[in-house]
Amino acid sequence: MGRLENKVALVTGAASNPGLGRTTAMRLAEEGASLVVTDVDLAGAEATAKDIIAAGGKAIALEQDVTDEARWAAVMQVTEETYGGLDVLVNNAGIAVLVPLEQMTLDQFNRQIDVNLTSVFLGCREAVKAMKKRGGGSIINLSSVAGLVGLQTTVAYGAAKGGVRIMSKAVAIEAAKYNIRCNSVHPGVIWTNMQAQATGTSDPSSLDASVARIPLGRAGEPMDIANSILYLASDESNYVTGTEMVVDAGMTAQ
């Protein structure tokens, strides 16, 4: 307990349950952070904030379309007015539309770039402005194993997530002079609502978790990612910036 005491954290895409954003927000709050949880699903974000408060933490919920530039500025203003500043940003919000190349429409491609990549640019830009006032901070951007290696049906998703990886490195270099760190996290097969929607299944046991695909032989859970984000958000990682944390049970090691 207390690894994030006196820190303020903003987590986007924090409504879905089970989901990486919600689990991360809960985990950061457990360690003492004051949370701002955002999502296009305001009711879901409010449910996350309510659960954090019920567990003894601090949280507010805000509606946010992460592709809306003006809304990013407004969310940051509320964050600063409520808590006095920002120390941690988790750019988690994202979508996955897994479609074979020849069937993918331009609208589907552009939408994934907007939600998964452009939103990260907007979040990083606003976070750097806010964190400079605090003398530093940590930005954690959610990428994917699809941002490291080529996978079937991920032409748009992989392009966006690969962009997140390189953008994170560029932000890390540019923001280092302000004591702001920026890293990317690359989940493998994690059972979440987004995974269910992308794969068209409601049964986690139906996922291909074979040793040939996943050396540890099992799908991961949202807490596996949340704990990795916690490390990058905390001062324990104060010498870590511009790198990627791969949490994939060995998928990309082969």
Residue 184 pLDDT more than 70? yes
For 58, the enclosing helix (H) or strand (E) is strand 58-63
Residue from 157, 178, 231, 239 carrying the catalytic annotation: 157
The larger pLDDT score, comparing residue 19 to residue 205, is at: 19
- Between CA 11 and CA 120 the distance in angstroms is 12
Structural contact between residues 25 and 57, judged by C-beta atoms closer than 8 angstroms: no
The residues that bridge with 38 in the sheet, in sequence order, are 62
pLDDT for residue 158: 98
User: Can you tell me the mean pLDDT for 178-204?
Assistant: 77
DSSP state letter for 135: T
Residue 109 pLDDT more than 60? yes
CATH number of the domain that residue 188 is part of = 3.40.50.720
**Does residue 83 carry a catalytic annotation?**
no
For 36, the enclosing helix (H) or strand (E) is strand 34-39
Q: With bands split at pLDDT 50, 70 and 90, how would you rate the model's confidence at 15?
A: very high
Residue 178 pLDDT more than 90? yes
Point out the least confidently predicted range of 64-78, 95-109, 132-146, 203-217.
Answer: 203-217
Q: Among residues of the chain, what percentage have pLDDT more than 90?
A: 89
Residue 2 domain flag = no
**The pTM of the whole model exceeds 0.85:** yes
pLDDT for residue 193: 57
Residue 198 pLDDT more than 70? no
Number of folded domains that form the chain = 1
pLDDT for residue 207: 62
Residue 167 pLDDT more than 60? yes
Q: What is the residue whose two structure tokens read 């010498």?
A: 239
The residues that bridge with 35 in the sheet, in sequence order, are 9, 59
Q: With bands split at pLDDT 50, 70 and 90, how would you rate the model's confidence at 211?
A: confident
User: Average per-residue pLDDT in the chain?
Assistant: 94
Residue 3 domain flag = no
Residue 54 domain flag = yes
Residue 205 pLDDT more than 70? no
Residue 17 domain flag = yes
Residue 116 domain flag = yes
Residue 209 pLDDT more than 80? no
User: Can you tell me the mean pLDDT for 80-91?
Assistant: 98
Segments forming the whole domain that contains residue 241: 8-253
Residues 6+ apart with CB under 8 A from 26: 48, 51, 52, 55, 226
Residue 242 domain flag = yes
Residues 6+ apart with CB under 8 A from 88: 4, 7, 8, 9, 10, 28, 33, 137, 138, 139, 140, 233
